[in-house]
Amino acid sequence: MNRRQTLLGGAAMFALAACRGEAAPRRGDERVVVAGGPITEIAFAIGAGEAIVGADTSSVFPAETSALPKVGYQRQLASEGVLSLSPTMLLASDEAGPPEALDQIRGAGVRVVTIGSPKEASAIPTRVLAVGDALARAEEAQSLASKLEQSIAALERKAASRTTRPRVLLLYARGHGSMLVGGRRTAAEIVLSLAGCTNAASDLEGFVPLTPEAALAARPEIVLAPQMGLESLGGAEALFATPGLSETPAARNRRVVAVDDLLLLGLGPRIAEAVEAVASNVFA
3-state helix, strand, coil in the chain (%, to 5): 45, 20, 35
* Residue-by-residue pLDDT tens, the chain, 284 positions: 455 554 555 565 566 544 433 455 566 689 999 999 999 999 999 999 999 999 999 999 999 999 999 999 999 999 999 999 999 999 999 999 999 999 999 999 999 999 999 999 999 999 999 999 999 999 999 999 999 999 999 999 999 999 999 999 999 998 888 899 999 999 999 999 999 999 999 999 999 999 999 999 999 999 999 999 999 999 999 999 999 999 999 999 999 999 999 999 999 999 999 999 999 999 98
Is domain 167-282 in CATH 3.40.50.1980, yes or no?
yes
Q: Identify the bridge partners of residue 225 per DSSP, sorted by sequence position.
A: 258
**Alpha carbons 139 and 122: distance in angstroms, whole number:** 19
Return the H-helix or E-strand segment holding 258. Answer: strand 256-259
pLDDT of residue 21: 38
Q: Do domains 3-153 and 167-282 have the same CATH topology?
A: yes
Q: Do the Cβ atoms of 233 and 12 come closer than 8 Å?
A: no
* Domain 3-153: CATH superfamily, name plus number: Nitrogenase molybdenum iron protein domain (3.40.50.1980)
32-35 sheet: strands from edge to edge: 15-18, 111-115, 89-93, 32-35, 52-55
- The answer, yes or no, to whether the previous bond of 98 is cis (omega within 30 of 0) is yes
Length, in residues, of the chain? 284
pLDDT of residue 7: 57
Q: Which of 11, 5, 4 is nearest to 128 (CA)?
A: 11
Instruction: Specify the pTM.
Output: 0.90
Q: For the chain, give every domain's residue range.
A: 3-153, 167-282
Alpha-carbon torsion 198, 160, 184, 176, what sign?
A: positive
pLDDT of residue 175: 86
Q: Identify the bridge partners of residue 111 per DSSP, sorted by sequence position.
A: 89
Alpha-carbon torsion 261, 263, 266, 271, what sign?
A: negative
Q: How many CB atoms lie within 10 A of CB 249?
A: 14
